[in-house]
């Protein structure tokens, strides 16, 4: 990976969906990207400035050591940390196992808190502009049926982002959160429903990636706290219909 002037963005969930779209746009704009995901077997990006690290972020006990090692391997300035990896386990609460509940909270919230805590001293020490951006969700704003634990994980990440923004307000580290509604990605592959097939029924991953670039471009001294975006027409359909 070359040491380029736009700097490095560390991006979790870079192997698929929203993260893959973000990686592609960042690389096209001249950033280096260090991706974190479990596997890149379905990733379509090959670029000299794209480094891929395979890591299971839900292995919470191993995470501090693994992230410390990743930090030691990074020699160039870090321009941003995008905490985007996530999973959905959508069902009524009685149908969710405790293992599912734990996995959602650890993958969608706790791992991002641990990764951010590990990166923060280095990011503050750089004394240059840094953006930490979280992928929240419309589920971070309003609870809805079959989303009890997923919504809880996204409310948690939103509260975490708000508190951290305040904690970082006297440094050059800015904290933002993107809250999309339905985005057409493999997120729905293992779920029993998906957005309707109309172009108005889902956001495209590129739409989210464009907004992330706008956060990076904001004038230093201004923080884009949150961006909420929705499909024009909310339609959900059961799989196979
Ligand atoms: N799609 C939507 O409608 C929607 C709407 C609002 C918010 N979001 C949020 O957007 C984010 C990205 O989702 P997406 O729609 O792009 O889904 P996706 O296509 O399924 O991508 C999820 C990404 O997260 C990574 N990931 C999941 N578990 C991981 C783990 N234990 N360790 C490391 N990486 C892991 C996946 O990598 P591996 O495949 O290698 O595990 C993948 O790169 C999530 O936080 C999701 O909650 C999605």
DSSP characters for the chain?
Answer: ----TT-EEEEETTTSHHHHHHHHHHHHTT-EEEEEES--TT-----TTEEEEE--TT-GGGHHHHHHHHHHH--SPEEEEEE-------S-GGGS-HHHHHHHHIIIIIHHHHHHHHHHHHHHHH-S-EEEEEE--GGGTS--TT-HHHHHHHHHHHHHHHHHHHHTTTTTEEEEEEEES-B-SGGGTTSSEEE-SSGGGSB-HHHHHHHHHHHHHSPTT----EEEE--SS--EEETT-
What is the count of structural domains for the chain? 1
Expressed as residue numbers, the domain containing 186 is 8-238
95 lies in a domain? yes
Q: Note the pLDDT of residue 239.
A: 87
For the chain, which ranges sit under pLDDT 70? 1-5, 240-241
Q: Note the pLDDT of residue 240.
A: 66
pLDDT tens per residue, range 197-215? 999 999 999 999 999 999 9
186 CB near ligand 1 (under 6 Å): yes
2 lies in a domain? no
Q: Note the pLDDT of residue 2.
A: 56
1 lies in a domain? no
147 lies in a domain? yes
Q: Note the pLDDT of residue 1.
A: 57
186 lies in a domain? yes
Query: Ligand 1: which of 59, 85, 182, 184 to mutate, most ligand atoms within 8 Å of CB?
Result: 85
182 CB near ligand 1 (under 6 Å): yes
17 CB near ligand 1 (under 6 Å): yes
Two tokens, residue 83: 């905490």
Question: What's the CATH number where 212 sits?
Answer: 3.40.50.720
Site of tokens 């809250």: 179
Do you know the residue count of the chain? 241
pLDDT tens per residue, range 50-77? 999 999 999 999 999 999 999 999 999 9
Q: Counting atoms of ligand 1 from 1, which one is nearest the CA of 88?
A: 47
Query: Ligand 1: which of 10, 12, 16, 156 to mutate, most ligand atoms within 8 Å of CB?
Result: 16
108 lies in a domain? yes
3 lies in a domain? no
54 CB near ligand 1 (under 6 Å): no
């Amino acid at each position: 990976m070359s040491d380029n002037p736009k700097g490095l963005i560390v991006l979790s969930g870079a192997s698929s969906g929203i993260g893959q779209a973000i990686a592609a746009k960042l690389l096209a704009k001249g950033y280096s990207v260090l991706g974190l995901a479990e596997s890149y077997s379905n990733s379509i990006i090959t670029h000299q400035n794209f480094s891929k690290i395979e890591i299971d972020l839900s292995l919470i006990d191993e995470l501090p050591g693994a992230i410390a090692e990743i930090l030691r391997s990074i020699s160039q300035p870090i321009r941003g940390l995008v905490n985007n990896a996530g999973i959905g386990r959508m069902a009524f609460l009685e149908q969710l196992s405790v293992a599912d509940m734990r996995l959602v909270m650890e993958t969608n919230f706790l791992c991002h808190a641990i990764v951010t805590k590990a990166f923060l001293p280095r990011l503050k020490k750089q004394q240059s502009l840094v953006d930490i951006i979280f992928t929240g969700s419309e589920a971070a704003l309003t609870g809805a049926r079959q989303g009890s634990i997923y919504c809880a994980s996204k409310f948690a990440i939103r509260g975490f982002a708000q508190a951290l923004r305040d904690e970082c307000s006297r440094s050059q580290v800015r904290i933002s959160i993107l809250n999309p509604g339905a985005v057409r990605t493999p997120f729905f592959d293992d779920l029993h429903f998906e957005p309707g097939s109309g172009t108005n029924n889902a956001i495209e991953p590129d739409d989210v990636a464009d907004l992330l670039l706008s956060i990076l471009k904001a004038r230093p001294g201004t923080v884009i706290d949150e961006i909420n975006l929705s499909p024009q027409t909310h339609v959900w359909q059961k799989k196979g219909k």
